Amino acid sequence: MASSKTIDRRSFIKLSSLTGGGILIGFNLFTACKSDAKPPEDLANLNFKDFNAFIKIAENGKVTIISPNPEIGQGVKTSMPMIIAEELDVAWDDVFVEQGPLDTENFTRQVAGGSQSIRFGWDSLRETGATARQMLVNAAAAKWGVDPSECSVSEGVVINAAGDQLGYGELVTDAAQLEVPEGVTLKDPDDYKIIGTSRVNVDIDEIITGKPLFGLDYKADGMVYACAVRPPAFGQTLESYDDTEARKVNGVIDVVAYGEGNKVAVIAENTWAAIKGKKALKTTWSDDSELESSELHDQELGKILEGDDFEVRREDGDVEKAFKEADQVVERVYSSPFLPHNCMEPMNFFGHVTDEKVTLVGPIQTPAGTQAGVAELLGRPKEEITIDMTRMGGGFGRRLYGDFALEVAEIADKIRKPVKLVYTREDDMTAGIYRMAIKYKIAAAIKDGKITGYHLKEAAVNSNMYGLIPHFFPAGAIDNYKVETANYKSKITTGAWRAPYTNFLAFAEQSFFDELFEIMGVDPIQTRLDLLEKVKGTTDENIEYSPERLQGVIKLAVEKSGWGKQPEGVYQGFVAYYCHNTHVAEVADVVMENGNPVVKKVTCAVDCGIVINPTGAENQIVGGVIDGIGHAMYGDFSFDKGKPRDSNYATYRLIRMQETPKVEAHFVQNKLSPTGLGEPGLPPAGGAIANAIKKATGMRLTKQPFILQLAERENKVIG
Amino acid sequence: MPTYTLNVNGNALSVEADSDTPVLWVLRDHANLVGTKFGCGIGQCGACTIHLDGAATRSCLLTVDQVKDARITTIEGLSEHGDHPVQQAWKEVDVPQCGYCQAGQIMTASAFLSENPNPSEEEIRSAMHGNICRCAAYNRIEKAVKLAAGKSK
Ligand code: FES
Ligand code: FES
């Protein structure tokens, strides 16, 4: 290769004229959304296949933003085009957002990253819109014979100093002939007309009229349905099966074993026949090793906390000395169970395998990784495998894993028919990749009325906290500080669950502080502000939370919740937390009704930088808070001899309307780059209600789900 | 397999299905009306809610042979142009997150409001209690039902 100089990001925008009139601007959203993505080395390799998102400007001035981005309910299908439309400077009413068409070679697929899409896409999306705008301005300036700097733009119309006007639609043909400009100017946030204004979900009409949008709605000609039997307990293998009765079920076409002979799929003409066939299947399972129960996990995690086999994840000062010299030591243990994701749309995927190609369609957050997995599983080159994404009925981390897509690929390879693999709710809940059970032991050393030491130990099933979590608050605020982790290896599959680790860690840490401040007899708000004061000006690169911004949300939450001014009978709990690059403080209001604590209201203060779409932002925070309360309060998932005790909503409890408090979200107004909102509202919620429940009942909650611990109250009133 | 003629959204729909087939699957697989969603299959989540002679009914527990000549209304047939007051309210409030549960929520809310056009907050919360929203858009669902009640007057 002659030269391989790294090309400028500008080259990631490409323009071409459309045969039907108008222009098409291609750019790579994948690059836009990944901080570490590198441009291809060679310019010659750049063609339209390198783009996965497009802006189409028609001769009538209408703008279509085509995005291949999947939507899991986090709102990016609305908010990301809003950023482009802002810089392009068009009226939002003239913008149409289209999901990238399925089955086209022009789209390279991408990951729907947790709470990171907006943060990483911010610069590139703005640059893309601004570049397109500049090209249209340049085209207008050339027509008028004036300098582009003499032109301005408003809502899709270019205006020159003399007051002449040209609409984008009139300029697209000329613009398509021009060079892509470099170094375009971005708007000042004060001039935003779309960003910061509420825009309704772009799929709203399809959702409220029941149009096919989701994976489970996808159909193909000649498609059959599959339901599978998987090992009922983690650690079991299939010894034998008898499909005589299953094959007698009306509509059942075939029965095939797969998954290294451990799973059996019933193939049928419709879903109901597949479900019935599955029930009629007789299977014998063997246990090749000890089957784990939750009681065992509890013991093992407890043993880990008592031992000293830990990996140090952060250490400041001399923790041992601080504890030895302390006037008082406070130590508490917090426990959480496993949790299933329970996406409202159960796992499902479509597959069709022929000699020529492998076609997979469905709700998945990680198509690239899944493609690689399918290539390996079927021994087929990646080029033969297409994976297309549908809208997803929830993700919460579960759809980061491609296990169900691999399953359908294998089944489709065996039967060579287009097939949809459907999980029943029971399959979905029992063949999960769960939030792992975790225990934390937190200890603080107090000397002369000050916190001189902080020591946190994490004992988790399978894996431990990752990334910068060990460096979150109170790292930097306490001189002698240590975080250590260890894990117990289990056969139960575990993985990411909305706000991994922090979804429980925030509760443990913030309940601990609440109790610690109470024991010390200090004000919980002022003490937090003081601790943060110490972090200001830190040069520690690992500390990414901002003490100023955390103080900011604390003050805003105090103000908006009427902290300390609540009427008699209302008990408030406070939490301030940073995760997923967003700072959040929450105040929960609890009252006693019939002798039981009831959460009435939660007030949130959020600093996520610039808010792109206020209605979407509020939806994410409010939903995250209620989700956090629901799982902290009721989420109880356990195993008996390797088998989940619950498999459907008759016994497994999710939060419902009547248990739901009113949630208010207040956003800090600033001009800082936006950060994500899909996760950060959730972690603080459990601690906020636990701290309020303590005031209301006198009981310190240390175990999730709270309802089990609350049931132990001596003078509890059953109501 | 027996043949059934169902009255779905005002049309006669002829399907061949086993008598124990839940209406949910008849709608989705046989009639290609996929707006009615599968969530739990045991009557606990409300995602599959339809109207049976105007009453909110869980279609996962209703078998095809129980329907007889009762009128079935699905989300696709709730209004001709997606402009039922409940649908309008859902749009105005921008209720959905992932959107999967929303057809069921809308069907429950619309049947409830036709029975009780002027509900109290407590009545709304109790009427909607059977419909799970895993994304927890409950505050907005509540708000939209209230708004729809106002609109239907
Ligand atoms: S699918 Fe019918 S109630 Fe859940
Ligand atoms: S909007 Fe996702 S389940 Fe309700």
Which amino acid would we find at residue A74? Q
Instruction: Please provide the DSSP assignment of A328-350 as one string.
Output: EEEEEEEEE-BB----SS--EEE
- Residue A459 CA to residue A656 CA, distance in Å, equals 31
How do beta strands A348-353 and A419-422 pair?
antiparallel
Residue A33 in this model has a pLDDT that exceeds 50: no
pLDDT of A178 reads 84
Chain-wide mean pLDDT for chain A? 90
Which contiguous run of DSSP H or E holds residue A485? strand A480-488
Using alpha carbons, list the distances in angstroms from residue A554 to A236, A441, A557, A564.
50, 26, 5, 13
Residue A531 in this model has a pLDDT that exceeds 60: yes
Of B105, B135, B141, B142, the residue with max ligand 2 atoms within 8 A of its CB, to mutate for a pocket test, comes to B135
pLDDT of A714 reads 66
Using a CB-CB cut-off of 8 Å, the residues of chain B touching A649 are 40, 42, 44-45, 132
Which amino acid would we find at residue A619? N
Q: What residues 285-314 of chain A have any CB closer than 8 A to a CB of chain B?
A: none
pLDDT of A42 reads 38
Q: Tell whether A74 lies on the interface with B, counting CB pairs under 8 A.
A: yes
Q: Is the ipTM of this complex over 0.90?
A: yes
Instruction: Note the Cα A230 to chain centre separation in Å.
Output: 27
User: B128: nearest CA in chain A?
Assistant: A657
Percent of chain A with pLDDT over 70: 89
> In the β-sheet with A358-362, what is the strand arrangement from edge to edge?
A252-258, A263-268, A224-229, A419-422, A348-353, A358-362, A385-389
Using a CB-CB cut-off of 8 Å, the residues of chain A touching B120 are none
Task: Kindly identify the ligand whose nearest atom is closest to the C-alpha of B100.
Answer: 2
Fold of B3-77: Ubiquitin-like (UB roll) (3.10.20)
**Contact across the interface for A346 and B39, Cβ inside 8 Å:** yes
Residue A37 in this model has a pLDDT that exceeds 70: no
Phi, psi dihedral angles at A316 (to 5 degrees): -125, 140
Ligand 1, atom nearest to B45 Cα: 4
pLDDT of A604 reads 98
The partner residue sitting opposite B44, judged by closest CB among A225, A625, A649, is A649
Residue of minimum CA distance from atom 3 in ligand 1:
B43
Calculate mean pLDDT across residues A675-696. 96
What is the pLDDT confidence band of residue A69, given thresholds at 50, 70 and 90?
A: low
The partner residue sitting opposite B136, judged by closest CB among A204, A391, A630, is A630
Using alpha carbons, list the distances in angstroms from residue A33 to A69, A119, A123, A678.
10, 8, 9, 15
Which contiguous run of DSSP H or E holds residue A640? strand A639-640
pLDDT of A9 reads 44
Residue A288 in this model has a pLDDT that exceeds 90: no
pLDDT of A501 reads 97
Could you give the 3-state DSSP secondary structure of residue A687? helix
Alpha helical stretches, state H, A91-248: 117-144, 168-175, 204-209, 244-248
> Among A171-185, A510-524, A640-654, which is the least confidently predicted range?
A171-185
The hierarchical CATH code for the domain A296-325+435-714 is 3.30.365.10
Q: How far is B134 from chain A (nearest CA, A)?
A: 6
- The helix-helix angle for B138-152 and A614-634 (nearest 10°) equals 120
Residue A221 in this model has a pLDDT that exceeds 90: yes
Pocket lining: B136 vs ligand 2, CB cutoff 6 Å: no
Beta-bridge partners for A62: none
> Among A181-190, A268-277, A569-578, B61-70, which is the least confidently predicted range?
A181-190
Q: Tell whether A272 lies on the interface with B, counting CB pairs under 8 A.
A: yes
Cβ pairs bridging A and B (under 8 Å): 188
Could you give the 3-state DSSP secondary structure of residue A535? coil
Q: Which long-range contacts (CB under 8 A, 24 or more apart) does A302-311 make?
A: A302/A333, A302/A439, A302/A459, A304/A439, A304/A459, A304/A486, A304/A487, A304/A488, A305/A333, A305/A439, A305/A441, A305/A457, A305/A459, A307/A486, A309/A486, A310/A457, A310/A484, A310/A485, A310/A486, A311/A464, A311/A484, A311/A485, A311/A486
Ligand 1, atom nearest to B58 Cα: 2
Which amino acid would we find at residue A455? H
- Residue B33 CA to residue B39 CA, distance in Å, equals 16
The partner residue sitting opposite B45, judged by closest CB among A395, A649, A658, is A649
- Residue A337 CA to residue A20 CA, distance in Å, equals 58
How remote is the CA of residue B130 from the centroid of ligand 1, in Å?
10
pLDDT of A73 reads 63
State pLDDT tens for residues A298-355: 999 999 999 999 999 999 999 999 999 999 999 999 999 999 999 999 999 999 999 9
Instruction: Please provide the DSSP assignment of A345-376 as one string.
Output: S--EEEEEE-SS-EEEEE--S-HHHHHHHHHH
Phi, psi dihedral angles at B7 (to 5 degrees): -100, 100
pLDDT of A1 reads 29
Are B112 and B149 in contact by the 8 Å Cβ rule? The answer is: no
pLDDT of A30 reads 53
Q: How far is A431 from chain B (nearest CA, A)?
A: 15
Fold of A23-207: Aldehyde Oxidoreductase; domain 4 (3.30.365)
Q: Where in chain B is the domain with CATH 1.10.150.120?
A: 85-151
- Site of tokens 């021994």: A379
Using a CB-CB cut-off of 8 Å, the residues of chain B touching A396 are 134
pLDDT of A32 reads 47
- Site of tokens 């909102």: A677
**Contact across the interface for B35 and A211, Cβ inside 8 Å:** yes
Ligand 2, atom nearest to A393 Cα: 2
Q: How would you class A694 by CB atoms within 10 Å of its CB: exposed for 0-12, middle for 13-18, buried for 19 or more?
A: buried
Q: Where in chain A is the domain with CATH 3.30.365.10?
A: 23-207, 215-287+347-422, 296-325+435-714
pLDDT of A10 reads 44
State pLDDT tens for residues A598-634: 999 999 999 999 999 999 999 999 999 999 999 999 9
pLDDT of A182 reads 79
The DSSP symbol for B27 reads: I
pLDDT of A715 reads 59
Q: Tell whether A200 lies on the interface with B, counting CB pairs under 8 A.
A: yes
Q: How far is A663 from chain B (nearest CA, A)?
A: 7
Q: What residues 329-348 of chain A have any CB closer than 8 A to a CB of chain B?
A: 342-346
Instruction: Please provide the DSSP assignment of A540-607 as one string.
Output: -TT--S-HHHHHHHHHHHHHHHTTT-PPTT-EEEEEEEEETTEEEEEEEEEEEETTEEEEEEEEEEEE
Which contiguous run of DSSP H or E holds residue A708? helix A706-710
What is the pLDDT confidence band of residue A366, given thresholds at 50, 70 and 90?
A: confident
What is the pLDDT confidence band of residue A97, given thresholds at 50, 70 and 90?
A: confident
Residue A584 in this model has a pLDDT that exceeds 60: yes
Could you give the 3-state DSSP secondary structure of residue A388? strand
Q: Which of B25, B97, B123 to mutate to probe the A interface, most A CBs <10 Å?
A: B97
Give the number of other Cβ atoms within 10 Å of residue A703's Cβ: 14
pLDDT of A367 reads 80
pLDDT of A313 reads 98
**Contact across the interface for B44 and A648, Cβ inside 8 Å:** yes
Pocket lining: B100 vs ligand 1, CB cutoff 6 Å: no
Alpha helical stretches, state H, B1-152: 23-25, 64-67, 85-93, 102-115, 121-127, 138-152
Ligand 2, atom nearest to A344 Cα: 3
- Residue A141 CA to residue A159 CA, distance in Å, equals 9
State pLDDT tens for residues B102-149: 999 999 999 999 999 999 999 999 999 999 999 999 999 999 999 999
- Residue A499 CA to residue A681 CA, distance in Å, equals 9
> Among A151-165, A364-378, B34-48, which is the least confidently predicted range?
A364-378
Are A515 and A695 in contact by the 8 Å Cβ rule? The answer is: no
Percent of chain B with pLDDT over 90: 97
Q: Tell whether A619 lies on the interface with B, counting CB pairs under 8 A.
A: yes
- Residue A431 CA to residue A567 CA, distance in Å, equals 47
Using a CB-CB cut-off of 8 Å, the residues of chain B touching A250 are 1, 18
Pocket lining: B41 vs ligand 1, CB cutoff 6 Å: yes
Residue A106 in this model has a pLDDT that exceeds 60: no
pLDDT of A471 reads 98
Using a CB-CB cut-off of 8 Å, the residues of chain A touching B91 are 200, 204-205, 208
User: B30: nearest CA in chain A?
Assistant: A270
- Residue A391 CA to residue B98 CA, distance in Å, equals 8
State pLDDT tens for residues A494-529: 999 999 999 999 999 999 999 999 999 999 999 999
State pLDDT tens for residues A435-468: 999 999 999 999 999 999 999 999 999 999 999 9
Query: What homologous superfamily is domain B85-151 in, according to CATH?
Result: [2Fe-2S]-binding domain (1.10.150.120)
Q: How far is B89 from chain A (nearest CA, A)?
A: 10
User: A206: nearest CA in chain B?
Assistant: B82
Pocket lining: B100 vs ligand 2, CB cutoff 6 Å: yes
- Site of tokens 């959480």: A336
Which contiguous run of DSSP H or E holds residue A14? strand A13-17
Q: Where in chain B is the domain with CATH 3.10.20.30?
A: 3-77
State pLDDT tens for residues A111-138: 444 456 677 778 878 888 898 899 999 9
Are A592 and A569 in contact by the 8 Å Cβ rule? The answer is: yes
Fold of A215-287+347-422: Aldehyde Oxidoreductase; domain 4 (3.30.365)
Residue A592 in this model has a pLDDT that exceeds 90: yes
How remote is the CA of residue A168 from the centroid of ligand 2, in Å?
38
